[in-house]
Amino acid sequence: MEAPLLDIRNLDASYADLQVLRDVSLCVPDQEIVALLGTNGAGKSTLLRCITGLHSPSKGSIFFNGTDITHIAAHRRVKTGIILVPEERGIFPDLSVEENLKVGGYSLSLKSVLRDSFAWIYDLFPILKDRRTQIAGSLSGGEQQMLSIAKGLISRPKLLVIDELSLGLAPVIIFKLLDLLEKIHRQGVTILLVDQNIQRVLSISDRAYVIENGRIALRGSGEDLLHDPRTKKVLLGR
């Protein structure tokens, strides 16, 4: 069996005396969409911080593309191909759309590669091409989220980690963004997605994990967890 792109083994994590993650194990196979679901305070953000190098686990291991990255610094993880689209969107509001994308593509040393990446991004997000000279802070909420995703994608990551895709957005915009993620996935991008939109996220995910009180409570295919009554019990309390 081929090793997963991301392999997390028996992870614990704490803040001072508060233990947040307990014996968490999960994997993200190459070219899949994997959902991570849980209520507020369940440990999702801490797990993402451990994956991206922003927080150090107290126990366990994180392997990426076959390499142990548990203690590798965050900036070096970016170079291995892990990109985080943060909860607060992570754009530079005073820069234009195109300037934001150039910041996202800083690691692409060859101009020809950057040019190809811009063409790819503008094909995926034609609205951003139309807005390329517009100041990012003046975009709508949905357009800002698109820019945040595009800014992460332009460096051609192996794994795109998205924290709270739909936060503060109208349902029609959320569905549009999820459709875009499916399109991005079909082009070979592996995605780890954290979001509160249970039904739609599970419907597009190859596999999913539900975290509760810092432990993985449920795991399975997106389809299986979508129809598992325990999913709603854990996430919605019913």
Q: Could you tell me if residue 209 is inside a domain?
A: yes
Q: Could you tell me if residue 238 is inside a domain?
A: yes
Q: Could you tell me if residue 48 is inside a domain?
A: yes
Query: What digits encode the pLDDT tens for the residues 121-161?
Result: 999 999 999 999 999 999 999 999 999 999 999 988 999 99
pLDDT exceeds cutoff 70 at 108? no
Query: What digits encode the pLDDT tens for the residues 175-200?
Result: 899 999 999 999 999 999 998 888 99
pLDDT exceeds cutoff 80 at 107? no
How many angstroms from the chain centroid is the CA of residue 45? 11
pLDDT at residue 90 in the model = 82
Q: Mean pLDDT: which of 162-166, 171-175, 218-222 is highest? A: 218-222
pLDDT exceeds cutoff 80 at 37? yes
pLDDT band for position 112 (50/70/90)?
low
Q: Could you tell me if residue 96 is inside a domain?
A: no
pLDDT at residue 111 in the model = 66
CATH for 49: 3.40.50.300
pLDDT at residue 110 in the model = 55
Q: Could you tell me if residue 207 is inside a domain?
A: yes
3-state DSSP percent of the chain in helix, strand and coil, to 5: 40, 25, 35
Q: Could you tell me if residue 231 is inside a domain?
A: yes
Q: Is the pTM value of this prediction over 0.85?
A: yes
- Which of 91, 210, 197 shows the shortest CA–CA distance to 141? 91
Find residue 219's DSSP bridge partners.
209
In sequence order, which ranges of 34-96 are alpha helices (DSSP H)?
44-52, 74-80
Q: What is the mean pLDDT of residues 91-115?
A: 83
Q: What's the DSSP call for residue 96? A: B
Contacts of 66 (CB under 8 A, 6+ apart): 3
Q: What is the mean pLDDT of residues 159-170?
A: 90
Q: What's the DSSP call for residue 22? A: E
In sequence order, which ranges of 23-140 are alpha helices (DSSP H)?
44-52, 74-80, 97-104, 111-124, 126-130
pLDDT band for position 238 (50/70/90)?
low
Helix (H) or strand (E) holding 237: none
Any idea which residue has 């508060």 for tokens? 18
How many angstroms from the chain centroid is the CA of residue 50? 13
The pair of three-digit structure tokens given for residue 109, joined into one six-digit string: 């040393």
Q: Could you tell me if residue 187 is inside a domain?
A: no
pLDDT at residue 109 in the model = 60
pLDDT at residue 124 in the model = 93
Q: Could you tell me if residue 76 is inside a domain?
A: yes
pLDDT exceeds cutoff 70 at 24? yes
236, amino acid identity: L
117 close to 154: Cβ distance less than 8 angstroms: yes
Question: Within 13 Å, how many C-alpha atoms sit on residue 224's CB side?
Answer: 9
Domain count, the chain: 1
Q: Which domain holds residue 226?
A: 1-81+202-238
Q: Residues of 195-218 as b/e, b for ≥16 C-beta within 10 angstroms?
A: bbbbebbbebbbbbbbbbebebbb
